[in-house]
Structure 1
Amino acid sequence: MYEINNDQYPFEINYVDESTNKDLMKNFTSEYTGFIQVGDKKWCLPSNISYELNDFYNMEVRPTDVWVVTFPRSGTTLTQEMVWLLMNDLNYEAASKTPLEQRYPFLEFHSLIHKKQKEIFVEENKHCEEKRKTVENILAGMFDHLKKMKGRRFIKSHLPLSLLPKNLLTVGCKVIYVARNPKDVAISFYHHNRLFRTRGYVGDFPTYWKYFTQNLVVYTPYWDHIIEAWNKRNEKNILFLFFENTIKDMKGTISQLQHFLGTNFNEQQIDTLMKHLHIDKFQKNKSVNFNVLIELGIFAKGEEGFVRQGKTGEHGNYFSEEENEKANKWIEDNLKCTDLRFPA
């Protein structure tokens, strides 16, 4: 499956057990060779990524880099747009002309997609040379591209801190980590996995929630992911944020980011930024909604869009009273070993 230099990569990689993998692949229809588990935490990832984990871990980080790291669907896109604008003199014109995925590359996106699924996308777009080339560029490896980039790099990743470059927090770059209530995360990630044909999830939400709590969804274990970052929150090069606080008090979050990033915009400029980031406008912002993926057929038809509702507490529409009590007990049990607490 993979060849890894164990002198450079300290984590053992194994397939999820065969029967579980078969069950997962019935629901995640775009994963053709199964899922792997990495290290003692057994990080769940698609098998294709095993070829590049060593590159990610030993990647050369630059002091000028600005990273946004999250468990998926934790306010990542909103934070990326906020950070990029703060670090680029609030240049809304440049932001509107250049898709966010180009301004803020997603480190491991290509390696999450199975080779067979990439071939399907290319075949579907072969009738149009421009589209075919766009598909190939989108699905091409990001690692070499990042190495060639000049100037300040903005990088997004959903990998846990322990699988990211080993000197990420010591080289001097800025890392923003965002966490969100796991019930809302799971619901949003469920829709995300249905939307992206790169994952091709066809099951229902109760089945997805079962996988989520059993650490069988990509990037889980959820709790280890956020607690790793929480335990490093006092280091000088990382800022830990809660999505719930951003929604409740965006001005306060912007203030935290300004202090962390060293920017100094005035009240009027911040008000304009907040209007730009408001969910009603954000949902219509083509630059952050991956519209090109719609045109290329990478988004499934009939599903909710990439930027969904941008609010908290959505789990009330998905959990019965009994299910919600069980979910709350699961959360309570996993918070016993940490002082992490989600905002009300």
Structure 2
Amino acid sequence: MELDYHPELQGLTVRRPQLKLLQDVPFPAWVADNWETVKTFQARPDDLLIATYPKSGTTWIQEIVDLINENGDVKMCKRAPVYERIPFFEFFLDPLPTGIELIDKMASPRMMKTHLPIQLVPKSFWEQDCKTILVARNAKDCLVSYFHFHRMTESMPEPGTWSEFLQKFMKGRVSWGSWYDHVKGWWEAKDKHRILFLFYEDIKENPRREILKMAKFMEKVLEQDVIEKIVHHSSFDVMKDNPMANYTTIPTGFMDQNISRFMRKGEVGDWKNHFTVSQNEDFDEHYARQMVHSSLKFRNVL
């Protein structure tokens, strides 16, 4: 159900963007064309950055982090849609407010999300020694989710067919670039900065355990009943029916959830419903070549 949250946007449609390269990383034009504003952003020491490759559980982590920050106060976490509570740092899509505009209006401590690879994160985050929660998801499920996201949102380039998108993903010719470069870059940086590196599959397996890790990282001490409340309210089934988390506040001209739900399945292993045997064999060979020199290991890939 589409809500009348942005009445000024009703009837507006977005033209799908072209990809533009920034330091050899493809971005939608609406990111690339505003790069100076991104690059020169001034972080504060108590800023918290949530970093993910697209479709790796970003909204899930945003909701968990907000619930932790608000001590499990569910009413407070429904004060606004998740994209306003924890803005998308490099978002510049007219006529919506930019991510940085929303962040600049926030009182400290500020929380924000990004899909940027480590080498393109503004230097001020590291100069201010900010904390980052990084979530990585196995490549195959991430790819499937990213394909369906491209189908339903006009903010991304046209995906083409499943087999075409699969090839583009493997070559890193999609928005925010190579999944491999993204996860390996953040993995290698995790011991140099204050980065909590989490896996989507671990959070699905034991959300309570991973929520406790996040709370500790955020220096929040929570009672057991609060932890259980956070586990419940950040579950997929609850979030998919929460208008402040499921993006139904965004008009269909931007995101058409009749094509595919923003919160589609949230499962581990859904890739098995999409890959053909030959596609899977090709992907596994390519994956092995890309990851051979990295100590980063994912579950549920094969």
Instruction: Mark yes or no: TM-score above 0.5.
Output: yes
The answer for the alignment partner of 1:238 in structure 2 is 195
Structure 1 residue 92 corresponds to structure 2 residue 74: yes
Letter in 2 for 1:155: M
Within the candidate set 279, 290, 296, 1:340 is matched to 296
Which digits, 9 at most, give the CA deviation of each residue in 1:150-192, with x for residues without a partner?
A: 2221111111121121131341322111111111111101111
Q: 2:63 aligns with which of 81, 96, 102?
A: 81
Using CA pairs below 8 Å that are at least 6 residues apart, which structure has the higher relative contact order? 2
The 5 Å alignment of 1:195-206 reads: 195-199=152-156, 201=158, 203-206=160-163
Q: What does 1:1-344 align with in structure 2 at a 5 Å threshold?
A: 30-31=16-17, 34-39=18-23, 42-110=24-92, 113=93, 118=94, 136=95, 138=96, 140-199=97-156, 201=158, 203-294=160-251, 297-300=253-256, 302-344=258-300
8 Å Cα contact 2:27-2:175 kept in structure 1: yes
Structure with the bigger percentage of helix: 1
TM-score for both structures, normalised by structure 2: 0.89
TM-aligned CA deviation for residue 315 of structure 1: 0.6
Q: Which letter maps to 2:83?
A: E
Per-residue CA shift, 1:205-260, capped at 9, x if unaligned?
11111111111100111111111100011235111111011001111111211221
Structure 1 contact 37–45 (Cα < 8 Å) conserved: yes
**Contact (CA 8 Å) 1:68, 1:155: kept in 2 or not?**
yes
SS at 1:291 equivalent: coil
| CA RMSD between the two structures | 1.9
Structure 2: state its 5+ residue gaps: 1-13
Q: Report the alpha carbon displacement of residue 300 of structure 1 after superposing the two structures with TM.
A: 2.4
Contact 2:118–2:182 (8 Å) recurs in 1: yes
Runs of 4+ aligned structure 1 residues displaced above 4 Å come to none
Structure 2 counterpart of 1:38, one-letter code: L
Asked whether the equivalents of residues 169 and 175 of structure 1 are also in contact (C-alpha less than 8 Å), the reply is no
Q: Tell me, in whole angstroms, the C-alpha distance in 1 between the residues paired with 2:63 and 2:256.
A: 24
**Bigger Rg, which one:** 1
The total of aligned residue pairs comes to: 287
The structural deviation recorded for 1:36 is 1.8
Contact 1:29 1:200 (C-alpha < 8 Å) held by counterparts: no
Inter-CA distance 280–334: structure 2 relative to 1 (3 Å threshold): same
Once the two structures are TM-superposed, the CA of residue 52 in structure 1 deviates from its matched residue by: 2.0
Whole-angstrom distance in 1 between the partners of 2:151 and 2:241 = 21
Deviations 1:72-122, CA, capped at 9 Å, x for gaps: 000101111101111122121011232111110111222xx4xxxx5xxxx
Q: CA 1:301 to 1:86, structure 2 compared with 1: closer, same or farther past 3 Å?
A: closer
